[in-house]
Amino acid sequence: METIECYITGILPRPEELIEVTRAYDRARISREELENAFEKATKEVIRIQITAGLSYITDGMLKWQDLFRPFTEKLEGVHVGSLARWFNNNTFYRKPIITNRITCEKNILEEITYRKLIPKDVLWKVILPAPYTFIQLAENQAYSNKTDLMFEYAKILNKELSKLVNLGVKYIQLSDPALVYQPISKSISRDELSMVKAALDTTFKGISVKTCLQTFFGDFTQILPEALEFSVDHLGVDIYETHMEKLVKYSFDKGIALGIIDARNSLMENMDELVKLAKKIVKTIYLSDFEEIFVCPNCDLEYLPWKRAKEKIKTLRVLATRLEEELHG
């Protein structure tokens, strides 16, 4: 591999100006057109920051996403938007998907919420969506006899949506799967469950030709090893701040890794020397011979930070990637 790559891994915080406009709209002080113009202006800015920072793949910032599930809960038939629930152990919330009937989809889920036209044609477009396991774990199932049936139904719908996105020009697909590793009561996911997760990912990515990643965060990645090494994705995303490094480096990887090494839940700026040293140790240990594809990225969504600080952290990604490459390849 010739370069270490970098990207963001989730929803970006809204710039202050956009927050003020959305509040004005909620109070009926501005029109829908003015609101939309504000979203477009802010989206152009977050795209510009990513391109200027030298990121390998670009997202539209997901500024319209009120939570990871909302486009799906609002577009899927058989799903109602439920009450607010806490998003893992963060001081943020999501609307719980309530499954009231067999889920189907006759619409393009992301077409209206995605600002594809604002992303220059000469950059690589990345999309981020909820993984099957996290979707079923955080949804309220009132319709299916078990969660596994729901997971495979959702995986089939997700596969169709991904096919549409690839046809629109998407070059990289990330599925976010925090529930796969988040274990507040120290009870790891069972091997049987991991087998079902693998099968659901097989269904999700069937026929998908672009690069794919399963990004985990809020928990220790090692608890899904070695099974995760068999998942049908190109890259595995690891939250470095939640993962036991002494356990991680005991495994040999034969697929790419996305190192969640920029802390998206801490406003303090990282020490670059320490990050390079840690990343180098991980990479040289988990790859016994040739390196696979390596990404450096935030460990989760940057929306937990103010936009100003999130912007600063985005700018460090290419710096970190370049320094790591110099250390690894000389």
Q: Which domains does the chain have, with CATH numbers?
A: 5-13+54-329 (3.20.20.210)
Q: How far apart are CA 57 and CA 109, in angstroms?
A: 21
What is the per-residue pLDDT for 1?
41
Helices 32-53, 16-26: axis angle to 10 degrees equals: 160
Cβ atoms of 41 and 22 within 8 Å: the answer is no
What is the per-residue pLDDT for 185?
59
In the chain (330 residues long), the average pLDDT of successive 10-residue segments reads 84 96 94 96 97 97 96 95 94 96 92 91 96 97 96 97 95 97 79 96 97 97 96 98 95 96 97 96 90 94 97 97 90
pTM: 0.96
What is the per-residue pLDDT for 139?
97
Nearest to 272 by CA among 235, 280, 245: 280
Strands (E), the chain: 5-6, 77-86, 93-104, 126-130, 140-141, 172-176, 211-215, 235-239, 256-262, 294-298
Q: Which two tokens stand for residue 8?
A: 């963001």
What is the per-residue pLDDT for 186?
59
